[in-house]
């Protein structure tokens, strides 16, 4: 995860051909599970990227 006060972004692994495996995985999840992941990402954003 990349964090600074102005911007919060998640960086994902990208293969040489440009394929990003995690995006394919996220696309396959149902809405409930995607919402859970979004909740955790929001938590990381609010806590400045630190899990306590």
Q: What is the mean pLDDT of each run of 10 residues along the chain (52 residues)?
A: 61 92 93 92 81 75
The pLDDT of residue 19 is 94
The pLDDT of residue 48 is 76
Q: What is the pTM of this model?
A: 0.63
Domain ranges of the chain: 2-46
Q: Which two tokens stand for residue 8?
A: 């919060």
- Write out the E strands in the chain: 2-3, 8-9
Q: d(Cα 52, Cα 47) in Å, to the nearest integer?
A: 9
From the number of C-beta atoms within 10 Å of its C-beta (0-12, 13-18, 19+), residue 3 rates as middle
């Amino acid at each position: 995860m990349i964090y600074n006060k102005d911007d919060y972004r998640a960086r994902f692994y990208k293969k040489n051909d440009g394929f990003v495996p995690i995006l394919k995985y996220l696309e396959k999840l149902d809405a409930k599970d995607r919402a859970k992941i979004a909740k955790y990402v929001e938590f990381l954003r609010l806590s400045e990227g630190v899990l306590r």
